[in-house]
Structure 1
Amino acid sequence: MNEIIGRIEEKSLLTEALTSREAELIAVYGRRRIGKTYLIRNHFRKQLVFELTGVHDATLSNQLNNFSLALQEAMGIAVPPAVPSSWIDAFQLLSNYLRTAIKKEPVVLLFDEMPWLSTARSGFLQAFAHWWNTVASRNPLIKVVICGSAASWIIRKVINDRGGLHNRVTKRIRLLPFTLEETEHYLRYLGVQLDRFQILQLYMAMGGIPHYLKQVKRGESAAQLIDRCFFAKNAPLKTEFKELYKSLFANSANHEAIIRALSKKAKGLSRAEIIEECGFKTGGWVTEIIDELEQSGFITQYIPFGRTFRDTLYKLTDEYSHFYLKFIEGARATGTGTWLKISQSSSYTSWSGFAFESICQKHVDPIKKAIGIAAVYTEVSTWRSMLAKGEKGAQIDLLLDRADHCINLCEIKFSAEEFVIDKKYAAELDYKVQRFKEQTGTRKSIFPTMITTYGVRKNLHSTGRVIAEVTMDDLFSK
């Protein structure tokens, strides 16, 4: 039996659906390689009686032939049933099979990569909705799971559908990458023993994508693993980027253009700036593409402190995409030792700072726990000072605006050893706090907070200046 690492809330929701006294239509979505199919197959391994996976860019006739083969597998017969002439006929065959498959216990049906099944003018979605409304929804023992890597398609076409599937989805699961804690557990499950600093470096390059992490081999350092997975002649993750967006989105060139623009702007871009950077003509379609990238987990929106939704900034938060565009695409250096050489460069320093900052912004709950405010309602944002001519700017990497009338201004620093606050950096911290107070006019208590890998070295400049600390180890907790 394959073990399911993490996914505590998701497994609880799936169990709840299985034991409910009504039919369930469960939408599971998330980016490619995130482990959607693995989760469903292993959690429902005893109840799964039918599984159909869409074929990318296949014709209607090929999809229907694929359905016939899936039904043959489910029925356990030597010869596949006749290929149905339409999806209406296909679902009739499925209904006939279920009459014998359903006994007294719940059964699960999985429609994987559903966006690929619903080809243009195929009638799949209409047939599926008709089958759900007239057959499946009437039997409390039927639990249907629909999956898709194109998260925005699932949301737009199924969850927010105004037709036959309107309000039909009973449970929604958006599967996200592993956290650092889950990544550590997954690597141990694979038999990989690495210290947390090396796991953090892997996460900065690959993110918490189970399929990518599966490439990790025992006995190799993080540097060796990154060399083999990204820079070797047949590196398994060197060509992933070319397929990643193409397999998820129609007209993916526009999606890639936005990803490339955001990869060059660590602090994010507004919608108007994205349009300008990419050379797009303004229109609703740009908003739709941004939404698709966000729903699929590649970018994240942030509202700067004291601003409104109209001031939303979008940041690239997919570690793999940023790493690929920074170091792999167009790279001349390849082979053994490439990553060790790169790690001595200034480009590595700028990338590691951004990557660590992005990871910290994804692990706000462990940060809150580490500084003792886990139960305090908190709004998370960033802040950048407004500049008058000739003024020095100031920026806060992560801001925790608390309901108990306090604000943690978090400085995030990646380092291979204890971080040292010298006289110059201490002056910068003081200036940031001062500018923040002046420009926001806040009356809340301000707590300068350092988030580092190995902590802040105690010295004259740190004592009394740093109110709270968070280390790399804290990020690995729940």
Structure 2
Amino acid sequence: MAETIIGRYAEKKILKEMLSSKEAELIAILGRRRVGKTFLIRNYCQKYLVFECTGIHEAGLPEQLFNFSRSLQLAMQSPIPPATPVNWVQAFIFLSDFLATKLKDQPAVVLFDEFPWIHTAKSGFLTAFGHWWNTWASRQPQLKVVICGSAASWMIENILHNKGGLHNRISRTIRLLPFSLKESEDYLISRGVKLDHYQILQLYMAMGGIPQYLKQVDKGQSAHQVIDRLFFEKDGMLKTEFNVLYRSLFDNASHHEAIVRELAKKASGLSRTEVIKACGLTTGGTTTRLFEELEQSGFITQYIPFEKTSRDGIYKLSDEYSLFYLKFIDRARATGAGTWHKISQGQSYNSWSGYAFEAICQKHVQQIKKALGIAAVYTEASGWRYTPKKGEAGAQIDLLLDRADHSINVCEMKFANGEFTIDKKYANELDSKVKVFQAQTKTKKTIFPTMITTYGTKQNIYYTGRIVSEVKMEDLFK
């Protein structure tokens, strides 16, 4: 019985088109570990799935071939295992023979999961796969071949940018991203977990919208209890996940980890040059690939500052789980039940929650635009910072919505457990920010100071006449 698929509307549309198409299809699905790639295919295509083979991490050619043979046995529903193929060319001949019995009048879906792991050094897997696709599979109109991989960088380089037999052969690509806040809420409800928006937001700040992490949330537990159990107790799933996460996605993951660790230290982000210097990397193609790999897998995001080009881009750590882990778990001594409650009373919690909330707002710009009534207006989201010269005031704006209707929303994002209050000091900071921005950018557009908060902003003398529009936490869930 297929489980309900939460959200994923664009992806389901692509799969529907794939199944109803009148020709052979080769679909690539990219997405980080535990984001739900396999779940999506197994559930959406359950009725048509005739063969499935999952690569084994760090296994050699003999194990991968034996694993293929067992997958074929399962698909054939045979009590006797077929002979283990001697190489991948023979493996695909076996597969063609089996599929020929299945290709009748309805689609037949073949799934290769963790595809990059099947391709071991000198195994000839990719060449054999390309040959199989070009000479046989591509001529079977009912055949739909889906290849999944968590190692996004490998998939992009070897499949999407393939210069050999698979060049331009991919008919559709799905990049599966973590759930939004709304999808996370829907997912928890589907599992019988009912929490208010503030509690879900706290969970999202710690683990992001990764379905497999959210699956660990038990009914009747508060966000604090869940975080305690998953991160701080001895065998908590998310206490050990970090060590596996990067190594399962990237070869030589130490450089990837080094970049993520540096970005975790700096909420405002770092330029490419600053990251390279901090990590002791060299400028060049290899480093460019590291950035691309982390970006494609959704761990870091490049933000182009207002009126600048990608050369001036600022990189930020956008993976909530990595940020939380590096801030509170990595090399920390505090463990056991109640740890998170203690931490959440301190200063490190305040700085982290501010940073995490900002990162979430930057991922939910569409929801913010909708709440501001500008969903239909062409808008470019960016950040901006001015490093002052001697005797000047500097300024940093983390989210600017530069609109085609001659206006700019300067957004201030504040995480609080109640109504946020603007005091005199903060009001002066806001005024200074807007003044410096106008002076340095020479913009002629109308500036709308905008508050994005959890529970709204208190209407006082510093709010009136200063703040033009407001977005609350509940708007991010729409």
Which 4+ residue blocks in structure 1 deviate beyond 2 angstroms?
Answer: none
Partner residue, 1:64: 65
Matches of 2:404 and 2:121, distance apart in 1: 50
Paired letter, 1:48: L
Name the SS for the 1:281 alignment partner: coil
Alignment of 1:67-78 (within 5 A): 67-78=68-79
Deviations 1:324-353 (A, max 9, x none): 000001111111111111001110000000
Alignment of 1:309-320 (within 5 A): 309-320=310-321
Matches of 1:67 and 1:223, distance apart in 2: 44
Deviations 1:49-74 (A, max 9, x none): 00010000000010000000000000
Partner residue, 1:117: 118
Partner residue, 1:231: 232
Instruction: Check the 8 A contact 2:206/2:321 in 1, yes or no.
Output: yes
Partner residue, 2:329: 328
Alignment of 1:25-174 (within 5 A): 25-174=26-175
Instruction: Check the 8 A contact 2:393/2:436 in 1, yes or no.
Output: no
Partner residue, 1:240: 241
Matches of 2:147 and 2:3, distance apart in 1: 21
* Cα displacement (A) at 1:27: 0.6
Instruction: Check the 8 A contact 2:302/2:314 in 1, yes or no.
Output: yes
Matches of 2:3 and 2:48, distance apart in 1: 16
Q: Percent identity?
A: 65
Matches of 1:129 and 1:373, distance apart in 2: 47
Matches of 2:216 and 2:310, distance apart in 1: 40
| Structure 2 spans left out of the alignment, 5+ residues | none
Deviations 1:300-338 (A, max 9, x none): 011111211111111100000010000001111111111
Matches of 1:22 and 1:446, distance apart in 2: 53
Name the SS for the 2:398 alignment partner: strand
* Cα displacement (A) at 1:405: 1.2
* Cα displacement (A) at 1:183: 0.3
Paired letter, 1:209: I
Alignment of 1:195-214 (within 5 A): 195-214=196-215
Paired letter, 2:326: L
* Cα displacement (A) at 1:3: 1.1
Deviations 1:222-256 (A, max 9, x none): 11110001001211110000000011111001110
Partner residue, 1:192: 193
Matches of 2:333 and 2:165, distance apart in 1: 53
Deviations 1:145-190 (A, max 9, x none): 0000011111111111121111111111000000000000000111
Matches of 1:358 and 1:63, distance apart in 2: 40
Partner residue, 1:436: 437
Deviations 1:190-241 (A, max 9, x none): 1111110000000000000011111100111111110001001211110000
Q: How many residues align?
A: 477
Query: Which piece of structure 1 moves more, 151-160 or 356-365?
Result: 151-160
Paired letter, 2:306: F
Paired letter, 1:140: P
Matches of 1:349 and 1:396, distance apart in 2: 19
Matches of 1:99 and 1:283, distance apart in 2: 48
Partner residue, 2:379: 378
Name the SS for the 2:426 alignment partner: helix
Matches of 1:80 and 1:261, distance apart in 2: 50
Paired letter, 2:85: P
Deviations 1:360-389 (A, max 9, x none): 000000000000010111111100013111
Alignment of 1:392-411 (within 5 A): 392-411=393-412
In the superposition, the TM-score normalised over structure 2's length comes to 0.99
Paired letter, 1:58: A
